[in-house]
Structure 1
């Protein structure tokens, strides 16, 4: 794969993994909660957004300040460096 495609793939994976984790956690949290059927999808969406965001931020902080190896929690151990044309991966 060329550098731009590799960076694109890395950014997609590192975006989708927190969304999937957030959705799974939201589903597990919401399983024991009985709600009005009209409110349930809204709560699921809000919990997914909250848990996805918290997961991503927590992993990025750990990856930055503890060890880059923790990037695997986002699907790939190395954060994408190349996002625009003309940049080189390090």
Structure 2
């Protein structure tokens, strides 16, 4: 489940960033490559950062805007005894 949660929480901001960049492209006089190559990662970073901050410091309910209610928790690997 942790892998699924982390993939969802990565994919949702990526999809939002791509959709917002496409929407902004309609009103801008920029080449399509510039919009896709520059605006999409910037929007993804801003979207994820904003809602991750809100989830951590305001309310855990903001996690739904990242596509999953809780951040993934990863278990630490157990140390193996040295032979």
Determine which of 51, 55, 64 is the counterpart of 1:72.
Answer: 64
**Residue of structure 2 in register with 1:3 after alignment:** none
Q: Which runs of 4+ in 1 moved over 6 A?
A: none
**TM-score after normalising by structure 1:** 0.79
Instruction: Give the drift of 1:66.
Output: 0.5
For structure 2, list consecutive stretches of 5 or more residues without a partner in the other structure. Answer: 79-83
Tell me the alpha carbon deviations over residues 52-74 of structure 1, each in whole angstroms, 9 at most, x when there is no partner: 00000000000000011110000
Determine which of 29, 36, 42 is the counterpart of 1:50.
Answer: 42
Distance 1:84 1:42, change over 3 A: farther
Distance 1:41 1:83, change over 3 A: farther
**Residue of structure 1 in register with 2:13 after alignment:** 18
**TM-score after normalising by structure 2:** 0.85
Query: Which has the greater radius of gyration?
Result: 2
| CA distance in 1 between partners of 2:75 and 2:26 (Å) | 39
For structure 1, list consecutive stretches of 5 or more residues without a partner in the other structure. Answer: 1-5
| CA distance in 1 between partners of 2:43 and 2:75 (Å) | 26
Q: Superposition RMSD on alpha carbons, in Å?
A: 1.5
